[in-house]
Amino acid sequence: MLIWTMSDCSKCGARLNSWRGMNAFALSLRILMDSCIGLTMRVRLAVAARGRCFFVLMNKRTDEPIYRASTFKLERSPAAWQAALARLPNAHALQSWAWGQFKARWGWEAIPLTMAVAGNSWDTIAAAMVLKRRIPRLPYCVLYVPKGPVFDYHDHSMRRQVFGRLEQMAKRERAIFIKIDPEIARGWGLEHERVSPLGSAVMRELSDRGWFPSVEQIQFRNTVELPLEGTEEQLLAAMKQKTRYNIRLAERRDVTVRPGTPADFPAIVEMYRETAERDGFTVRPPAYYLDGWQGLYDAGMAHPLIAEVEERPVAAIIVVRFGERAIYMYGASRSEARERMPNHLLQWEAIRWAREQGCKVYDFWGAPDEFVESDRLWGVWRFKAGFSGEVVRWIGAWDYTPRPVLYRLYTQAIPRYLNYLRGRRPTQEALPG
């Protein structure tokens, strides 16, 4: 980057320092000078990908960018949206165009928003796929940004700008609340957690702005990630001995794994229903999963894998690939042939496939909130732990409400009243997805 100093501005009687013959940028600099904001600034010329350039005002005292003129705009092009996400850090599949359109077919309105430095619409610096659901018979709505917003969270000024714009959107849209769930780690590890300074800073800033941890954590708060560096032999060697044994046992007992197609989705849905009954979680209607999987498959993101014994499906998973990450988002199995360990072989073949696709991380998608046997995901955790991934603890979902009274009614009073009418306790909700 090239940096010039601009002391004051034309309205304050100051002058612009020399910029060494870079006449091609005179117009942009003059526009910046004519926008007096009453502070001593620096102008930073940022050279972006493919030779594009843009100017950013820099606070001379803190050396931080100032994005005052930047705001969110509606993005209408699927290709432009995907290209924008590809340039941003920590972009997630749940922020993809395909996921937004899928949710739009199930009661939500998808609002894809991008932010660029003012005057440089091609250089996206932040993105947020906002899902909006209207409250029936009331002039209010709820807003949700699954696994977003997406931007460089190390940038303090950018954090303030993005959070501020989302707060304004919540007020403008008459939202009871807006929920964000960014892909930012709070810490890593199980017994001796390593705290993330960035995660701590983001949580502190959100709290200072009036956000608070959401009672309703839509996505898993913790997960297990397996880095895919090294050879297959090294990955196998790092696994627990019992897991390696079960992978080889499945191969010896004639379990085979093949790639699936949309023609397999109905069978996977049926296995998923059977899994839910066995493990005690609720599921959505079959059409919901069929629609979602088809949409992700058509977008080139979903990769189904089927484990078979004597050509009969006994287990299946759907891996969702986005960027350099592969996510084990859905898994299902029958009660039969479980002694042949088909799920272990399925995971190993999924890991191998992810490496072939150039992924750097395999995300096992979910771990207990509390690592105790009473947690509903304890059994799943024991299975995933055998692959020797690392526990990642996210900062989780955070809510901001411009209407605190309505928020308490929506999140506390109404659910309790409905459960009272039904004469039962709250049921365990469907798994995220």
Looking only at the bridges linking them, the beta strands covering 141-145 and 150-151 are: unpaired
What pLDDT was estimated at residue 433? 55
Q: Give the domain ranges of the chain.
A: 2-66, 72-218+395-422, 229-359
CA distances from 8 to 42, 92, 254 (A): 9, 41, 76
CATH 3.40.50.1820 applies to domain 229-359:
no
Q: What mean pLDDT value characterizes the chain?
A: 84
pTM of the model: 0.82
Q: DSSP secondary structure string, 332-356?
A: EE-STTGGG-HHHHHHHHHHHHHHH
Tokens standing for 400?
């901001």
Any idea of the CA torsion for 163, 169, 174, 178, to the nearest 10 degrees?
A: -40
How confident is the model over 141-182, as pLDDT tens digits?
A: 999 999 999 999 999 999 999 999 999 999 999 999 999 999
Residue 418 neighbours by CB distance under 10 Å: 10
Provide the strand spans (E) within 20-108: 41-47, 53-59, 65-66, 72-74
pLDDT band at 413 (very low <50, low <70, confident <90, very high): confident
* CATH architecture for the domain at 72-218+395-422: 3-Layer(aba) Sandwich (3.40)
* For residue 114, pLDDT beyond 80: yes
What pLDDT was estimated at residue 281? 83
How confident is the model over 190-232, as pLDDT tens digits?
A: 877 899 999 999 999 999 999 999 988 899 999 999 999 999 9
What pLDDT was estimated at residue 22? 38
What pLDDT was estimated at residue 116? 86
* For residue 42, pLDDT beyond 70: no
Give residue 33's region: left, alpha or beta (phi > 0; psi -120 to 50): alpha
Which position has the token pair 């010329």? 45
Is there a shared CATH topology between the 72-218+395-422 domain and the 229-359 domain?
Answer: yes
Cis peptide bond N-terminal to 227, omega within 30:
no
Asked whether 347 and 255 are in contact (CB, 8 A), the reply is no
- Sheet with 185-188, edge to edge strand ranges: 194-195, 185-188, 390-394, 222-227, 361-363, 325-333, 312-322, 302-309, 255-259
349-365 core/surface letters (b: 16 or more CB in 10 A; e: else): bbbebbbeeebebbbbb
Residue 82 neighbours by CB distance under 10 Å: 15
Q: What percent of the chain has pLDDT over 90?
A: 68
Q: What angle do the packed helices 156-172 and 197-208 form, to 10 degrees?
A: 40
How confident is the model over 331-340, as pLDDT tens digits?
A: 999 998 999 9
pLDDT band at 375 (very low <50, low <70, confident <90, very high): confident
What pLDDT was estimated at residue 377? 85
